[in-house]
A = this chain, B = another copy of it.
Amino acid sequence: MLKIIGYDGEEIETMGPEEINNENYNVIWVDCYDPSDEELLQLSKNIGIEIEELKAGLDELEVPRVEEEDDYYLIVYKAPLFEEDITTTSFGIFIKDNIILTIHIDKINSLGKIYSLLKTKKPKTFLDRGKGFFLYSLLNQITISYSRIMLNLDDELDRLEEVLLKHQDQNITTEILQLRKTLVYFHKALVSNKDVLSILKRKYLPITTQDDREHIEDLYYDTLQLIDMETTYRELLVSTMDMGISLENIRMNQKMKILTMITALFALPVWITGIYGMNFKYMPLLNNPYGFWVIFGITIMSIMLVLYVFSIEKWIK
């Protein structure tokens, strides 16, 4: 799917793929999402970058990096991906002349957000300051997207902790697994993105102005902060999981305690009543009118004794 937007300093216009090379526009943004083979071919022809090169942006496992080619720049970057779990996906940003091409195989929410912001609100904010600033805006939206998820994770961790204190079941366990997965993917993505930003902020690339580089430096620090949060959450998650295991053990021990106590309490009484359930003709006390009460008393006393032992051993408080 292709979405093409051109900005001529005044207005934002939706364009067709054949107009990509129109030099009347200051900035042209081409967003190419899960393109068909024909779209790719057309795009390649119009923009003048080979299909093989474009495909680098469509591999969701590509390692983030900055590549300088003769007539264009390629930035591979990792964005959050909202599927069943929250993982990450790579996408490519090609910058050639006044064209910025984002190309991705997965749906990237941040790009959609920028698109709707451009269409409805303050497009000038994003586009008036040139393609370097637009690049910054793209990366910024993605960083914000990470932040938002990370703040949710914080609440999620608190909730998990509370739930674990009450009980543990299959759902909690799979939720913890989701969280861990997300953190594993985020760790790798953020560390790679940090390296990309570190290059963009230091290196003189003709696509960014000094101002843009300063903005990107801010993004760099934001990404450091995200990495810091992510490692903290990871450690807290490990602590929470350990707590969960420990609580499970405690609960197991309590059940074991109850089981052992019940078994201990009734073992002797049941046996004693069993003895007097035997059908021997001659058994002591059998015909004694108080026989029943004597034996009943003995069993009650044995129960009392066991209870006393348990209370001594602090099994009952």
Contact = CB atoms under 8 A, between A and B. Distances in A.
Contacts of A229: 61
A207 interface: no
Given A62-B225, A243-B176, A248-B249, A292 B263 contact: no
Size bin of chain A's contact surface: 35 or more
A63 interface: yes
Contact of A279 (B61, B62, B268, B286): B286
A2 to B, nearest CB: 27
Given A279-B283, A280-B285, A177 B239 contact: yes
A281 interface: yes
Given A62-B225, A228-B63, A273-B275, A291 B286 contact: no
Given A263-B263, A266-B268, A292 B282 contact: yes
Given A250-B170, A270-B271, A278 B279 contact: yes
Interface string A73-97: 0000000000000000000000000
A184 B250 CA distance: 25
Contact of A278 (B169, B173, B251, B276): B276
11 contacts: A166-B314, A168-B246, A180-B239, A246-B248, A251-B253, A252-B252, A266-B270, A273-B278, A278-B292, A281-B287, A284-B292
Top 4 nearest A-B pairs (CB, nearest first) are: A273-B274, A276-B278, A277-B277, A280-B292
Interface of A: 61-63, 65, 161, 165-170, 173-174, 176-177, 180-181, 184-185, 188, 221, 224-225, 228-229, 231-232, 235-236, 239-253, 255-260, 262-271, 273-292, 295-296, 299, 314
